[in-house]
Structure 1
Amino acid sequence: METATEQNKTVADARKAGSFQIIVFKQGNEEYALSIEQIKEVVITPTITRIPQTLPYIKGVANIRGNIIAILDLEEKFNIKRTADQHSGNHYTLVVESEDFKMGVLVREVPNTLTISAADFDESMNIITDVTSESNYVRGIIKVQGRLIILIDIFKVISQDVMAALRKNTAA
């Protein structure tokens, strides 16, 4: 299994080669994406069991293919307001796995895969940062088909405290 650093290098190499793939999903009214290398699989979200004393944006744990994993809600983490139609219906989970942890990212709509040209990617976004975070999790903005898609690094979204909680809550 690749580490987060190795996955970032793979994405950088793919960008230099001219194209790379992303998984696009909506959070509120905006489109976000993760590099396909960060996603293990996409599943319909099973029943989530709430774990007491966890951060509000960790919705709980779920059993996905025999693995108990923590489910993270990026809308809550990023303080994004949901539209009325996003409160009901099926939800999907992007299963993310690194050497250190496995977790699910909750999304409201079926995510799509896109192949992006390096020319459509602008990574000069380092002026936009989360003031509460030590590192910038926005990799850049993708401009494609009249859309702006925010590419994030899910491994940088998660603080060291959250990673420790994920390891503890999902330990087998």
Structure 2
Amino acid sequence: MENGTSVTRKMIIFQLEDEEYAIPVNHIGSIERLLPITRVPQTAPFVKGVINLRGVVIPVIDLRLRFQMKEAVLNDNKRIIIALINEMEVGLIVDSANDVIDIREDQIESPPAVIGTIDADYIDGIAKIDNRLLILLNLLTVLSFEELDKIQSLEV
């Protein structure tokens, strides 16, 4: 941080249950309304299926189920965040996508071992901004290479 400038990360904020999460904007392709999801047999429970987004078939995972939270009813309030994980587009179902903010590096703390049911492996850090506590996700660990490989090979 030379010359008194602090490095910031532009993050998209989204919600699961009562928690707010953040992922870097540069990992995001778009945020979509809930689209029809085609189930795919023999996938992990958190893999909801695939969507057809402007002619591209994209696998969709339910982040609530991935983090072992209670499954929510899918309705018009839900959003699908199209994220790029290891050069692969994956849809992430979230309760809502709230806003885009800049988070300064000095606002980010190391994650505790566990936050609720979410394993620390998935967390890059915790940001305290005003009265908000934001959990910064590491998308590269949310899905393992094996899981990404399986999802990528989904036959529709």
The alignment's TM-score, normalised by the length of structure 2, stands at: 0.84
1:52 aligns with 2:41: yes
User: Out of 54, 79, 98, which is 1:65 matched to?
Assistant: 54
Q: Residues 18-167 of structure 1: matches in 2 within 5 Å? A: 18-81=7-70, 88-122=75-109, 124-125=110-111, 127-128=113-114, 136-167=121-152
| 1:53-90, Cα deviation, whole Å (9 max, x unpaired) | 1100000000112110110111011112367xx65433
Give the distance between the partners of 2:98 and 2:71, measured in 1 at CA. 16
- RMSD of aligned Cα (Å): 2.7
SS of 1:61 mapped into structure 2: strand
CA contact under 8 A between 1:120 and 1:143: conserved in structure 2?
yes
Shift of 1:99: 4.6
**Which SS does the other structure have where 1:37 is aligned?**
helix
| 2:13/2:20 contact within 8 Å kept | yes
Runs of 4+ in 1 over 6 A off after TM superposition: none
Distance 2:64 2:138 in 1: 15
Contact 1:73 1:106 survives alignment (8 Å)? yes
Aligned length: 151
- Specify the SS of the correspondent of 2:36: coil
> Equivalents in 2 of 1:101, 1:165: separation in Å?
12
CA distance in 2, matches of 1:78, 1:150: 13
Distance 1:99 1:127, change over 3 A: closer
Higher strand proportion, which one?
Answer: 2
TM-score, normalised via structure 1 length: 0.77
Bigger fraction of residues in helix: 1
Query: Structure 1 counterpart of 2:153, which letter?
Result: K
